[in-house]
Structure 1
């Protein structure tokens, strides 16, 4: 991560800038990696917001509002937030891919649940909390056809024993 000096008196904190390995964009990392993840989502096929009237998707709600005004003017179009644990695991994976060595490798969560579940596909034991289960599915099995609209079904397919807990 590159550190740059502030150019204005308004915000005197130095900024951390990360370079995307996919497109070489420089992203200022000021709010707990949220900017990095938002940028990485641009490279990912699974976007966060979807138009309620058509198949158009976007990472940013303001871009979806632009779509509403130009494609569905006068209609009651609403953004649908597609965020779920499975998509978040995918976006986290893309954030790591786009910003290697930018502080994105920190632990996903503190391990509160010490129970383990065994993946029904590769037999690997994984911490039973949902975040770890979804991270395993995305990290190890993303080449498979995952249904990002049914995270519970995907979890049950890979970890049938965890659904009874």
Structure 2
């Protein structure tokens, strides 16, 4: 039975997915930087922390998207790691099996929304500030200057990601 389980995991990319765990952990660490919550005014709540993880993960996924076919599988595996993490977080908070799937589905939808919002916001003529207000502050009015702190941090992170070769990024080096 153990051999079958090992073969099953290898067939479905567990090794490749596990290799991306350092990058996912770097995304979470970047999302936990105090500057987002103090100077940036992101609510230091479960929702606020989720919003920052989703925002930074979206930037990483957009960077991998630029790699074409090479980035497709790693992006999918990172999304799986995100799902596993969110599933675990929900279960730790006492959410039962019956509704975990619905919550995770909404979280994946939120991540997809951020991908679109940041793709547009960083694009030519995009309105990044509006994307940040809607997707990080959830429409609430942040303190004056807070959006600029978050915007500048995300712009800096995006520039660092753009300058980082994919091979280094996939090794888990996220220095922004």
Asked if Structure 1 and Structure 2 have the same fold, meaning a TM-score greater than 0.5 normalized by the shorter chain, the answer is no
- Scaled to the shorter chain, the TM-score interval is 0.3 to 0.5
The higher relative CO (CA closer than 8 Å, separation ≥ 6) is in 2
The structure richer in strand per residue is 1
Instruction: Give the structure-1-normalised TM-score.
Output: 0.33
